[in-house]
Amino acid sequence: MNKTQNSGGGMNVWLRRAIFTLLLLLALALAGAALVYWMLLNRYGGALQQLEPRSERLEGVVNAGPDIETRLSSASDTVAPWLHPAGDAAQNDIQQQLRQMIVASGGTPVSLQAALEPGTDGKLARIRLTATVTGEWTKLVNLMETLQTHRPPFWVRTATIMREGAASGPGPQSARLGIQLEAPLAPESAKP
């Protein structure tokens, strides 16, 4: 009998070992591929579980869009009477409006200054006004009442009233009113 031949068949030992090794490597490769597939499937499932609630919330926001727009419009309509119109001439318009209120109340404007304060950090832009007014005591009190009821409002930050002239006498008391006001402006995008 030849040493290269096997008594049990025509396959040599090295060939059997090579086939066994090849089959073992194939099985390991299949197990590795199955493990990678299982890991990817679990990762996909986890990501899907995270995305589903988010997509449902997003779908809810999209579906609520008309309701949100209706509420935003309602809020804008509610707030609009409390804001002065914005624009390039807003500062002059508001200053002129205050001057007309002072004159209509019977006061005399001594000085009137206005400065634009831009809106930052979510705050509305505003016009800061400083006015000095002289006139009869009662007329200046009427001016202060008018400032409180006027729409859009002039928010009084400080007010100082001082008597001028004699403390007593037959005529009306004269006074000097110093006031600092704010006039909030509507956002530029809200202009018609």
> 135 exposed, middle or buried (CB, 10 Å; 0-12, 13-18, 19+)?
buried
Res. 111 pLDDT band, cuts 50 70 90? very high
Residues 42 and 127 in one domain: no
Residues 123 and 34 in one domain: no
Task: Look at residue 190 and tell me whether its pLDDT is greater than 50.
Answer: no
Residues 174 and 88 in one domain: yes
Res. 35 pLDDT band, cuts 50 70 90? very high
**Who wins on pLDDT, 147 or 119?**
147
Beta strands in the chain (DSSP E): 108-117, 126-136, 155-164, 174-184
Residues 39 and 96 in one domain: no
Q: For residue 84, what are the contacts with CB-CB under 8 A and spacing of at least 6?
A: 90, 93, 94, 127, 152, 183, 184, 185, 186
Residues 7 and 91 in one domain: no
Task: Look at residue 115 and tell me whether its pLDDT is greater than 80.
Answer: yes
Report the alpha-carbon distance of residue 114 to residue 89 in Å, rounded: 12
Residues 46 and 126 in one domain: no
Residues 139 and 171 in one domain: yes
Q: What is the pLDDT of residues 131-189, one digit of tens each?
A: 999 999 899 999 999 998 888 989 999 999 998 876 666 777 889 999 999 999 888 75
Q: Is residue 169 domain-resident? A: yes
Res. 20 pLDDT band, cuts 50 70 90? very high
Nearest to 112 by CA among 136, 124, 88, 129: 129
> 182 exposed, middle or buried (CB, 10 Å; 0-12, 13-18, 19+)?
middle
65-71 average pLDDT score: 90
Q: What is the domain range of residue 143?
A: 81-190
Q: What is the identity of the amino acid at 114?
A: A
CATH of the domain at 102: 3.30.70.60
Q: Is residue 75 domain-resident? A: no
Domain boundary among 63, 90, 113: 63
Whole-model pTM above 0.75? no
Q: What is the pLDDT of residues 83-97, one digit of tens each?
A: 888 888 889 999 999
